[in-house]
Chains A and B, each alone.
Chain A
Amino acid sequence: MRQMLVVTICVGSSCNLRGSDDLAIKIQNLIEKENLEGMVDIVGAFCMDACSRGISVRVGKRQFSGIRPEDGEAFFYKEIMGYEETIP
């Protein structure tokens, strides 16, 4: 049984304006669709000091920025579903 994967999404001023809430909702829906509740958890953060580069998201230990809400699905399958394969 692997550990709970924590996805941290910034909901501070800048990211909020860029639609981080929509992105979070999208990822939450995908977590439910893929039956990953209890394995992947969404947590909000206020600022991840990368505002100018677009919405900041941290998956486990890896940090991403510039994720657009419309890219949510691709991001989910690549970085969240595929998290275990990239980091052993």
Chain B
Amino acid sequence: MRHVVECAWKSLHKHGEELCGDSVIVRSGADSFVAVLSDGLGSGVKANILSTLTAEIAAHLFDAGSSVEDVMQTLLETLPECSVRKLAYATFAVLTVKNGCEASLVEFDSPPLILVRDHALFDLPVEMREVNGRMIREARFDLLKNDCMVMISDGYEHAGLGGIYRLGWGWENIALAVQRFVNTGVDAFKLTQALSRTCLKLYDDKPGDDSTVISMRVRPAVSVSILTGPPANKDLDAFAVSRLEAAEGPKIICGGSTSQMAARVLGEELQVDWIPPKKRTGDAPGKKKGSPPTARLKGMDLVTEGILTLGQTVELLHQAQSVDDLPRDADAATRLARYLLAADDILLIVGSAINPNQVADIIRGESMRMVYIRELVQDLKQRNKQVTIEKI
């Protein structure tokens, strides 16, 4: 089974600054993952430019397999020199993970990566090396399932400086906090929130430096498969349904006619859940106005109406960063959005039949369905999810 690195990050700007001097780049492909955190010299615009350049160059070159020497040389030659300090400088930490387990870490002047394995802090096999006159920390190690990693910028180490902590929060204390949070069983999103909130509190809501945290957790990939639209050729109906049945993860059907087609192929009864108005309030799942009902079909985890639900789901996704941002509703669109946000691998089986009753809905030669699917796919891909489309 494929393992993925679940990742979330958050930056706090230095109090009074509009731009952040820390830059983060996270990219994940089918079997590769790269996270970069760079902290530029100073703060504001200058720091922002230095860190953005550094992060981009480091992410790109390390992902392409360049050596540390090459990356350092490129950075030295590229970064603009600060007129005040006569220096071209931004720290960076780069973590690349291949196939969900082979990790390689390169750090330059940034706080060390925190790794929690089996509820305990794990010492990384770090080697120090001088490259172009600069000290680099390097480590190669194998990741295990449930490993949690946290990358921080030095803003975290200094949190609380002169206030609650005389010398700042400090790496040791942060690592301990990470270990405690991880042991409560949080995911990367919650861990990020918890650390970020603590940091902000230590700074008394006025961060004295740009403070960034990237939380990562290794876990098995979650799949979900969706069938939407009947095939253009009726002879392929059975194939489309069997494709969905054979696919991994929860199985979802989006589309009224599609679900009827599936019910016919499976020889099962399709039961539409129309909830009478009186039962919609209270503890019964309140159906939002305009959100079409769901149905039940044996073997399927969710059956919804098509176009309207897809459109609403796209809207919901635009407003939510993670599952926790979704409304606590149980209507079709929210449930679909929940499945999509929780998944890493999403398979869309899209039938291209045009509903003869909805010919008016064709936009530039494409059905409404395809327009929404395209928007949906774009949103999901931006979240580093692996989306596969099979057109039938």
Contacts and interface: CB of A to CB of B under 8 A. Distances in A.
Contact of B256 (A13, A25, A50, A52): A13
B323 to A, nearest CB: 26
B358 A14 contact: yes
Interface of A: 9, 11-14, 16-17, 24-25, 28-29, 42-47, 49-52
A15 to B, nearest CB: 9
7 contacts: A14-B357, A43-B272, A46-B257, A46-B260, A46-B272, A46-B295, A47-B260
Interface of B: 256-257, 259-260, 270, 272-274, 276-277, 292-293, 295, 305-308, 355, 357-358
A24 B293 CA distance: 12
B274 A24 contact: yes
B15 to A, nearest CB: 50
A43 B308 contact: no
Nearest to B258: A46
A47 B274 CA distance: 13
A46 B274 contact: no
Contact of B305 (A43, A46, A52): A46
Contacts of A25: 276-277
B223 to A, nearest CB: 26
Contacts of B272: 11, 43-46
B357 A42 contact: no
Contacts of B270: 46
Given A16-B305, A29-B277, A50-B357, 18 more contacts: A11-B293, A12-B256, A12-B305, A13-B256, A13-B305, A13-B306, A13-B307, A13-B308, A14-B357, A24-B274, A25-B276, A28-B277, A45-B272, A46-B270, A46-B295, A47-B256, A47-B257, A51-B358
Which 5 A/B pairs are nearest by Cβ-Cβ distance?
A44-B274, A51-B357, A44-B272, A46-B256, A12-B256
A13 B307 CA distance: 7
A14 B295 CA distance: 16
A14 B256 CA distance: 10
Nearest to B355: A51
A12 B292 CA distance: 7
Nearest to A26: B277
B273 A44 contact: yes
B274 A11 contact: yes
Choose among A12, A17, A24, A29 the residue with the greatest number of B CB atoms under 10 Å from its CB: A12
Nearest to B270: A46
Nearest to A8: B272
Contact of B274 (A14, A17, A42, A52): A42
A9 B374 CA distance: 31
A52 B357 contact: yes
Contacts of A46: 256-257, 259-260, 270, 272, 295, 305
Contacts of B292: 11-13, 16
A75 B157 CA distance: 72
A31 to B, nearest CB: 9
A80 to B, nearest CB: 16
B276 A42 contact: yes
B147 to A, nearest CB: 45
A29 B278 CA distance: 10
A52 B357 CA distance: 5
A79 to B, nearest CB: 19
Pick the most buried of A25, A46, A50: most chain B CB atoms within 10 A of its CB: A46
A44 B276 contact: no
Contacts of B357: 14, 49-52
